[in-house]
Amino acid sequence: MLGTYLPFFSVWLKNIGIDAQWIGIITAMPSLSRFTVLPFITAFAEKRNILRGAMIAMAFLTAAGFVVIGFLREPLPILIAFALLACVWTPLSPLSDGYALKGVVVYGLNYGPMRLWGSASFIVGALVCGALLDVVNYQHLIWIIVASAILSAFVSLGLRPLHAPPVTAEAPRASGLLKQKLFWAVIGAHTLIQGSHGAYYGFSSIIWQSMGFSGFSIALLWSVGVIAEIVIFAISPRFTFEATTLVIIGAVSAIVRWILTAMEPRLEVLIAVQAMHGLSFGITQVGIYTLLVRSVPHHLLASAQGYLVAFGGIVSAITVVMSGLLYAQFGSGVYFAMAAMGAAGGAVMLVWRKRLDAAHGQSSLRGA
């Protein structure tokens, strides 16, 4: 579903007459919901051990929400409908990751090789939607997104119950994580580095379209990034670097990538730059999730992921809105601001690197 939504939802908005400022506000709604309703939903589902049921219900509500949006054409109604939709859609990501991370712990699985299948499905969605973009009226793009949402909902019925180890009465609560400085360091690095992708998610397709690239070329550019991401996830079990080092590599890659993207290079150069997504996003994700798995108690993994996404949502919401304003004024120059965000995330990890490395092997984060 994300393969159709991320590259083309903003393009659909633009082609039904929504201006850049409104696009920035509308597309910020998922980020806004991440730090409002999302933490409560993830904590509720994990506490009652109903991750599977919650994911299925929200997948069907998401599909219904996109159907409603497909009939709207004015910015304010779309904003309201999308804000409500985001409340049931955005929890799907942390619940899915929490579900996966529990499987990592319970069954001794590797996160990266599992996660790559999500990336592979992204490529299929992007390429199919990109190919259709050249033959379908841009104002009908929303129905491709609707179709993928409906498919996602029915696929969710195949999820299996995950039997977790029993939790003792003395087990720490999720809120205790927020008292740990090291957990905040992980949140800070994650939100800044991954948040630096905000302009890319919201406006890259629009910028590329204005540069004269075809729909298939736009889909290809998105797919190159995700293919690089898949490679990183596939080989991640072989990494020997500390998780903190992986995050720092991701931050440096983000800085270089966004500076080069701001220069509006030719298609062949941009393809090479897009391959850096495997580092700016993929290797950062592996590093952050490795820190979570080795540091957070099993029964708090979904909640920890919820907090991670929630506070990331604060940064992402601000980033996407500001990206709309910056894009309206400076065009592709918005990416220079994204490079600064990546640098800030890398600085956070550098400051806390020694203490996070020292915590390696402990069962939970400590508040020292």
What confidence category does residue 367 fall into, taking pLDDT thresholds of 50, 70 and 90? very low
Residues with Cβ within 8 Å of 281's Cβ and at least 6 positions away in sequence, in order, are 194, 197, 225, 229, 250
Instruction: Give the number of domains in the chain.
Output: 1
Answer yes or no: is 366 within a domain. Answer: no
pLDDT band at 164 (very low <50, low <70, confident <90, very high): low
Helix H or strand E encompassing 166: none
For 259-279, write each residue's pLDDT tens digit: 999 999 999 999 999 999 999
Question: How far is residue 368's CA from residue 365's CA, in Å, rounded to a whole number?
Answer: 9
Residue 367 lies in a domain: no
| Lowest-confidence region among 31-35, 80-84, 149-153 | 31-35
Query: Residue 352 domain-assigned?
Result: yes
320 falls within a domain:
yes
> Which CATH number fits the domain that encloses residue 179?
1.20.1250.20
Report the candidate in 40, 50, 8, 57 with the shortest Cα–Cα distance to residue 222. 8
Q: What is the pLDDT of residue 301?
A: 75
With respect to residue 125, please indicate whether it lies within any of the assigned structural domains.
Answer: yes
Identify whether 58 is part of a domain. yes
Band of residue 89 on the pLDDT scale cut at 50, 70, 90: very high
pTM score, whole prediction: 0.74
Q: Is residue 148 part of a domain?
A: yes
Domain that holds residue 221: 2-159+174-358
- What are the pLDDT digits (tens) for 287-311? 998 888 877 777 777 778 778 888 8
Position 343 in a domain: yes
Burial class from Cβ neighbours inside 10 Å (0-12, 13-18, 19+) for residue 178 reads exposed
Cβ(27)–Cβ(10) below 8 Å: yes
- The Cα–Cα gap between 170 and 28 comes to 39
